[in-house]
Structure 1
Amino acid sequence: MGQGSAGQERALVFGTTAEQYDAARPGYSALLVDTVLDYVGNASPRALEIGAGTGKATVAFAGRGLPVLAVEPDPRMAEVLRRNTTALPQVDVEVGLFEQWQRAERRFDLLYAAQAWHWLDPETRRDHTFDALVPGGTVALFWNFAPMVDPVLHREFTAIDADYGTELGRLTGLATEFEGEIEATEENGWPSVDFAGDPRFTDQRSVRVRNGRTRHDADAWLSRVATQSGVQILEPERRATLLAALRRVLDTHGAGLDTEWITDVFLARRLPEQTQA
């Protein structure tokens, strides 16, 4: 996470509400883990997790028996991460920015990042990823989305989001917009655009994992909204006004909402040694 300026500051804002983040954010489905591990093709890959946060993805992957080294830049998030992985002795936690992390001679079969790749320095993140992987090793980058089902709620939430500039697209998008395949553009920052011209990574794939529909009550959904970086960086009074406006809309429409649970994942493989020139 983090590039060392405004981007890094925003990336580290999650630590100010680490407990709320842990309680409100969703985890990662067995289907997502299956998708990644099927691609890896290794029975027990050694995994490196970048920007591990409070351990949502750490628990999902280490729960399959994988040894995981979790790198997290924020000590407050790392404290919760350690607590959440107490029952998983194969998890090691190191605190620090990926850009400054000391790899030494360690290399991994799998490097993954959950909701974190976009916080890394775009000038160096692929180089660090390449160096951290064994030849033929896998990079897996994924994000959860929770687009809403009701188009009326979508329209009203989108208007509020635009007024406040909070960039809540992952939570205020419309489910029907996610019915097709992943669209990769520079504007949406999908990693295939970043990796496309890099010959060190092959077998690149973009996969949309559909995990089903979820019903949220107003409190749970608003708690999740409050953990988004675009909301956390607002002044407290403006943040409270935003959340109150969203609650009024929810109260008008039955105090809850349905969303689809979607995880988009980018997969690529470091070129095997014998293929490199």
Structure 2
Amino acid sequence: MTDADREFLRAIFGQDAELYDQARPGYPAQLFADLARLAGLSPQSRVLEVGCGTGQATRPLAQLGCTVVAVELSPEMAAVARRNLRQFPNVTIDVCPFERWTPPETPFDLVLSATAFHWIDPDIRVPKAADILRPNGTLALIHSEHVAGGTERFFIDAQDCYERFDPKTTPGWRQQLAADIPDDSSEIDRSRRFGPAQFHRYEWEQAYTTRSYLDLLMTYSPTRSLPQPDRDRLLACLGNLIDRDHHGHITKRHLTRLTLAHRT
């Protein structure tokens, strides 16, 4: 991905922050229980969240009593996050690209990024996270992927819709099995700023109606970046498949991966 592509695509999420907040499914509760235990979080912990979006990963940390500073690129997303987190005086949200954000002098115990770290400049993200952490502080990265499972027939048939209306679609593409997606800490390892990474994986399913699934797709940058005629045709094709062949309901299977590494 070029720098220009990354800048364009990561700005798309703020175009409809309310829809993003309503449609995105969040993360498994067990993940945050494991994160709190493995990072040794307590009400005295200081947490930096990179790319908080509308606050879906921020809330579990705030509920622990941690002091949370969240950095968010989009003013629209940050506004929704502030509304969602208004009952937590321990949360501060700064609107700024992480690359240009100036951290406070006091270091953090945890730097967390949930499905946002890949949008940060790869030359900056890991070294800056290390600089912000105290010695032995934790970098935690959450990645989510759509994997094989759920209503598999729909996702196989949906490939035809994508090949017809999205020119970037790889012909014949299929979702991978969760077991075939490897854990990868190569970027963290190359920095030589962290100890060995730990990996934790969570598989889960989410049910959708036709409307809620199309709303979800409109929170993804590849869908939103399509020219409107193609996007409308793609969504109509997918909606027709769900209504015609699956009685208006499908299930999507997710793999959420948690990668942790402690600063040396």
Q: Give the structure-1-normalised TM-score.
A: 0.86
Runs of 4+ in 1 over 6 A off after TM superposition: none
Match of 1:39? 38
Output aligned runs, 1:43-82, within 5 Å.
43-44=42-43, 45-82=45-82
Match of 2:258? 265
Match of 2:106? 106
> d(CA) in 1 for partners of 2:169 and 2:18?
22
Pick aligned residue for 2:213 from 221, 224, 237:
221
> d(CA) in 2 for partners of 1:245 and 1:37?
43
> d(CA) in 2 for partners of 1:181 and 1:134?
35
> d(CA) in 2 for partners of 1:67 and 1:154?
41
Give the % identical residues: 31
> d(CA) in 2 for partners of 1:181 and 1:32?
21
> Which residues of structure 2 form unaligned runs of 5+?
none
Pick aligned residue for 2:240 from 235, 238, 248:
248
Match of 2:119? 119
Deviation at 1:82, TM superposition (A): 0.7
Match of 1:207? 200
Match of 1:94? 94
Deviation at 1:151, TM superposition (A): 2.6
Matched, 1:149 2:150: yes
Match of 1:187? none
> Which residues of structure 1 form unaligned runs of 5+?
185-189, 272-277
Tell me if structure 2 keeps the 8 A contact 1:182–1:264: no
Q: CA RMSD in A?
A: 2.2
Count of aligned residue pairs for this structure pair: 258
Structure 1 residues 201 and 149: CA distance shift in structure 2, 3 A: same
Tell me if structure 2 keeps the 8 A contact 1:3–1:120: no
> d(CA) in 2 for partners of 1:257 and 1:79?
31
> d(CA) in 1 for partners of 2:237 and 2:167?
14
> d(CA) in 1 for partners of 2:168 and 2:107?
38
DSSP 3-state at the match of 1:196: helix
Deviation at 1:6, TM superposition (A): 2.2
